[in-house]
Structure formats: structure tokens, C-alpha cells
Structure 1
Amino acid sequence: MTMMPPPVTVQAVQQFADFDKKRNKFAPLMAIVVLHIAGFYAIQSGLLSRVVTAAMPTITTISIIAPPAPSVPKTVELSAPVPKAVIPPLPLIAVAPSEPTITPPQPTRAEAAPVATAAPTAPAAPSPTPPAPATPRTVSSVEYIKAPQLVYPNLSRRLGESGTVVLRILINEKGLPEQILIQKSTGYTNLDEAGRQAAQRALFKPMIENGKPVPVYVLVPLTFQLS
């Protein structure tokens, strides 16, 4: 009698599918657990250290020893022995004793020659000094050929300046004013300068002494007065 397999129900198919899913889900986890167990066993048994030792390369230490330096022979200079000089003995000469002689001192050349004395030189004649130039004398008055023409400065006129300036004038042999000095000022620079310029334009009659014209000084007063 043939037995028939039980009918496959929908519930059984669903349970089988759930089991398959759980198996696929837990398969990686089980593999990890198995690997951890195998590693722990390898550490405990020393298998892992032997594998690492076998995999590491063997280190060989090589020492290089330098050959010794060749020895250099030393050069030693041998000094030749210096022969000693042989001095022959001097012969002895017999000298007869002589009587001492006295030599009188010879006069020196300075004592023998007469001393030459220099003749006294005559004093030089003094050179004649040129006569000192005579200083022109000062006269009280001179004659005009062209009298000074005063020009009143406009500024001094507006300011009301006035006064008398006394000029010391050197008149040369030609009657020209060679030098003009201010003997006494008016107190105003413009008036003093105007008086000096007026005297510069003047012409004097030369002073005659012994028939010759001579330079003289003269004092010339010039008055500035407002009209």
C-alpha cells in the first residue's frame, strides 16, 4: 500500500521561508564566531607566533674593519762630527827691554796759527727819510666860483624838517671838493645828505700860497629853512 505524502499547506511553506531567512541572517554571525574561536585557539597554542617568526626576514649584522694604515718610516738625519780645530803653539820671541822715552807735546794747529780778528764794519749810513706830507691847513673862508645850490627834500618839507649842517670840505689845487665830511649835523639824515650833494656840485677858487695852489680845509655852513 503506497503512502501518500502529506499535503503541503500554505502555512508550511510560510514557515520554511521564515526559517530560510533566519538561516541567511545568522550565517555571517556564525562565521565570525567560528573565526574568533579559531584565532583564540591559535594564540593559546603558539601557532601564530611561529607563523610570524617564519614570515619575518633574518637580519644579518656585517661589521667592516678598516685595514691598518701603513707605517711610514721616519727619516733621521745624522749629523757629521765636527772636527776640532787644532791651534799650533805660538813661538816665544825674546824682546830686549828698552829705556822709556819722553815725547814733548806738539802744539795744535789752532794754537800755532795766529787768530785772525775780523775788522769792525762801518755802520751803514741811514737812508734819508722822505719828508712827511704836509697836512692841509684849515682856512676860515674861500671864494666861490659856483656856490652850492640847496635842493630841499620833499619828505623833509612835508615833515617840517629844518636846520643848519656844517660841512668840512677838502678843496684841492683845482678848486674841486675832494672830500666832504659832516662836522655838525642838522639832526635829520635827509637834510645832511642834501647839503653834502649841494657842496659836491660847487666849485671853489684855489687857495694860492707862494704863487702855488695848495689844498686847504674849509668849514661851510648850509642852512635849510622853510619859508
Structure 2
Amino acid sequence: MTIDGPSPDGLAKLGKFTAIVAIHAGFFYLLQTGMLRDAVHAVLPQVVNVSFVAPPAPQPEPPAPKTVPVMQAPAITPPPLPLLNITVENTITPPPAQPRSADAPSAPSTAQPQQAAPAPPAPPAAPRLVQGVEYVRAPAPVYPTISRRLGETGVVMLRVLISEKGLPEQAIIAKSSGSGNLDEAGRVAAMRALFKPYMEDGKPVAVYVLVPINFQQV
């Protein structure tokens, strides 16, 4: 008679059973010896104390600024001006009577003759030749060099026009000295002179005067 060995399924079930028994036996052993309690204490983490902090109470809102009513200044009415009592007499002045014109027909009006235009002012009188004019600055002639070398001498008579301000405006030769150089030197000297204005009826007037200049050598 042949005896067969255990099947694979049976061996597996036997192994699981044996493991379960071993685990229970070990757990019982640990529980009896106190090692399981120490292991639990070792695994448990340290307790963290958490305190609940209440949020801060909300700050009271600042009081709203007080509204101060604006007092409007009372309107000041200026006092009225003093009343003026004006008395007017209740009199009516009748309008003046208008004179009644005559019924006679009026004569035709005659044309007024046109007035003649005023004559233009007369031109000022031409300057006249006078005497007695005074010098403010007398002529200072320069003797021409060529005339000195040639020995020229003579008297030149100049007709000089003097303005209302006493300034010479024109000098012409009224009588020659016989030398053109001496005549020109005399004319230049007369134009550089200065005269006192000639007065007539209290007013300065333009006049002519005769100015003699003598050129001579010593």
C-alpha cells in the first residue's frame, strides 16, 4: 500500500495557519512582558500644545467731527438818508405871448454879397542897408601868404547880410581891393564874424551892412 505525500494546496494552507499562530503567540508574549506598551509610547509623537488666541477686538471708530453750524452774520441795512422837506409853490407861470406877425407879405430876401477872401500877408520887406551895427566877434582875416610875397595891399569893401540872430548869411564884394586873394580872404573873415542883432521897433530884423577890411604890410 502506497502512502502519497501532502499536496501543494495543503502545504500552503498549513503555512498560513502556522504564521497566524506564530503572530498571535508573539503578540501575547509582548503584551505579557510590557514591551508592546513601551513601543506604543515610543511611536506616539510628542503632544503639541496649541492655544487658541482670540482675534483682537475691533478698534472703535473715531467719532465723527462735530458739525458746527455756521452762523451767518445778520444783514446790516444802512440807515436811510434824512428826509428832505422841499416845499414847492403851486404857481403856474403862463407862457409869454407870441407877437403876432403882420399880414403884409414878406419882401424877397436879397442875396448877400460874397465876402472877398482875405488878402495874403504881405511879404516881409527886403533887408535894407543900415549903419551902426555892433560886432560881437569882429572879423579876424588871415593875410594870404602869396599876397605877402607879392607885396599886395588894399581895402576890400564887403556887403554882408546879417540875420535876425546876428549871423552873417551872405558876403559879397562891394568894392575890390585890387587883389583876388585879398578879396577872398576878407570875405571868409566876414562870414566867420558875429554881429549884434539889429533892432527895429523892438524886434530884430535882417539888414545889410558894409564891412571894410584893410590889408597892409608894415
- Pairwise TM-score range, normalised by the shorter structure: 0.3 to 0.5
Q: Which has the higher helix share?
A: 1
After TM superposition, the score normalised by the length of structure 1 is: 0.44
